[in-house]
Chains A and B, each alone.
Chain A
């Protein structure tokens, strides 16, 4: 039931773009995105609640497909500070249980 993220890892040069996907076999109530830098706590980035929704701030944005089974996180013109592990998180219908995705390690090189 754990959402699967792809790719598992990605290396970029500063200024390049990246897309991280979060896929589920069941419809998600919502999807949350977090970034965790090495040795630190996960930090909330954004939430998407509705199918077809897109939102973003600065150069990080995300989308949620109509069927609510996939979300993508878009990182444009990446900066060194974007390095870390990105997690999607969700809760399925009828449960309080919160589940994080498998994680995507992103490293931005100068």
Chain B
């Protein structure tokens, strides 16, 4: 059983399109995250939800909108895709927001903008 699953694994699309990435975790965790990993491999937090409530909203263009319908799901919708959005997007979850909780990552979604 996959603990944190993301779909799709690969996403190739054209500039200007709108796309969504879905994430689900079956670990019973309360906290979920979206990260962006660029070509230099830097991992940067974008959003975090705790019990469906947004707790982290980094300086991300408002073309990016997260949505958490329940504790087990955190989706990411991106409007008007741009070339600079090409990256690997990782979903992760942790038991809670406590400092001692490790994060469990999904396999990532490789987004390529043509």
Contacts and interface: CB of A to CB of B under 8 A. Distances in A.
Contacts of A32: 102-103
A56 interface: no
A97 B34 CA distance: 12
A64 to B, nearest CB: 12
A97 B45 contact: yes
A98 B42 contact: no
A44 B103 contact: yes
Q: Is the interface of A mostly helix, strand, loop or mixed?
A: strand
B86 interface: no
Nearest to A46: B102
A110 interface: no
A70 to B, nearest CB: 17
Interface in A10-44: 29-30, 32, 34, 36, 40-44
Contacts of B66: none
Contacts of A99: 45
A100 B102 contact: no
Given A30-B99, A44-B102, A49-B100, A98 B108 contact: no
Contacts of B50: 96
Interface string B24-60: 0000000001000000011111001010000110100
Contacts of A102: 42
B7 interface: no
A29 B99 CA distance: 7
13 contacts: A30-B99, A34-B103, A43-B105, A44-B102, A44-B103, A49-B100, A85-B41, A96-B50, A96-B56, A96-B97, A97-B56, A100-B42, A100-B43
Interface of A: 29-30, 32, 34, 36, 40-44, 47, 49, 85, 87, 89, 91, 96-100, 102-103, 105
